[in-house]
Chains A and B, each alone.
Chain A
């Protein structure tokens, strides 16, 4: 397993946002986490990438614990470990968060060069390969404001791929895309999975999940309500909430 999430709980004040969420993700597998907004999907993702600390539970990435529950206490690993574990985890934000003052190329090479000590030549070589693979090599020198939404998203994906992560997380990747771009992002995600990357997609776009995911996790009020293969999920919804959600698309 590349990603193991076990029994995580998270509250904001008295609001229990995540209640005992567990799941596993294998390399090459694509999991979509579905649910209404407010179901806890984004918080789940933020716990996995370490932007939020969960109150209880364990998260392990590539066999290393980010946090681990032991005798009822959840302990986080130290900052150095978090940094190296994060390397294994690529993240594409919903609003991308590209660095506006850096060109597409610099957005991709910034972390490898200035955080992880990779030589400029090597980082740029890798960045050009990624841009090439994503079909925007000619945009390397452009700044984010000069790019279209779809191109920006590709830069964000390339930036997240630059450190060769084993898991790639997408937060609502289709929220700003037209149908054609949705299809092309689906192809990109499939390509990443076929290169053995594990993919975690947070979305409420059911058609997209249907198109691309191997497995579906359905969340409601901070809990996993249903988990299963795509076909199972769509053919045998476990209860009315899930059924309504499926039929709403």
Chain B
């Protein structure tokens, strides 16, 4: 049994590496992009806020798996090609930035007008007022909903199998089919549980970091 488990590990770790790669890069790209999505959505310039609204509607209104298929299999039909990994990353980033954008928008709107006014009379320009006064308070407030999305993302990464990328779940399925065994799927579940446990802990630490004030 132990030998069987050990024999599974190399391919599992390969899958895990890809899962983590998609996860980390999507986070690194979609979180900052989410802030800009939120600012665009709140923009006083009508054209910008309209366009962002439509973008959010499309991203939230269609399945992520369709977006993956569209970018990897659909776009080449009009001459735009990406490799598998690029396509996956683009789809995930665009999709998650839309969700993060809406979370950040709610966070930004929850900051009292008085905070902007206090900053303004102290001489802060709009950018400094946002980065030094508003954003830090927004981050504290949005951390719980962002944590939810982060946990969802780690599981959503399994969708990249549709473009033929060998992530964690795919490695498990291949082994399970090959060996007619349930064990690889249990191992996969174990990996996901470990990942979400670590993330939950890390996100809790982030929340603690912001708990120094109310």
Contact = CB atoms under 8 A, between A and B. Distances in A.
Given A50-B121, A51-B121, A114-B132, A97 B112 contact: yes
Interface string A57-97: 00000000000000000000001000100110101010101
A13 interface: no
Given A93-B114, A143-B213, A145-B213, A101 B122 contact: no
B123 A111 contact: yes
Contacts of A91: 118, 121
B123 A101 contact: no
B39 to A, nearest CB: 20
Contacts of A144: 213
Contacts of A86: 121-123
A110 interface: yes
A116 B124 CA distance: 9
Contact of B213 (A95, A100, A159): A100
Bin the interface of chain B by size: 20 to 34
A23 interface: no
B60 interface: no
Among B112, B121, B125, B212, which residue has the most Cβ atoms of chain A within 10 A? Answer: B121
B124 A115 contact: yes
Interface in A1-58: 49-51
A93 B117 contact: yes
Contacts of B187: none
Nearest to B136: A101
B124 A97 contact: no
A146 to B, nearest CB: 8
A79 B117 CA distance: 15
A99 B121 contact: no
Contacts of B118: 91, 93, 97-99
Interface residues of A, number: 26
B123 A87 contact: yes
Nearest to B118: A97
A110 B122 contact: yes
A114 B124 CA distance: 8
B201 interface: no
A19 to B, nearest CB: 24
B173 interface: no
Contacts of A143: 212-214
A83 B125 CA distance: 9
Among A51, A116, A144, which residue has the most Cβ atoms of chain B within 10 A? Answer: A51
Contacts of B46: none
Interface in B120-165: 120-125, 128, 132-133, 136-137, 140
Nearest to A145: B214
A110 B132 contact: yes
A111 B214 CA distance: 22
A115 B114 contact: no
B117 A97 contact: yes
Contacts of A89: 121
Contacts of A114: 124, 128, 132
Contacts of B212: 143
Given A101-B136, A111-B124, 6 more contacts: A83-B123, A86-B121, A89-B121, A93-B118, A98-B118, A110-B133
Interface of B: 112, 114-115, 117-118, 120-125, 128, 132-133, 136-137, 140, 212-214
Rank and list the top 4 A-B pairs by shortest CB-CB distance, nearest first: A97-B118, A111-B122, A97-B114, A145-B214
20 contacts: A49-B121, A51-B117, A83-B123, A83-B125, A86-B122, A97-B115, A99-B133, A100-B137, A100-B213, A101-B136, A101-B140, A110-B132, A114-B128, A114-B132, A115-B122, A115-B123, A115-B128, A145-B214, A159-B122, A163-B122
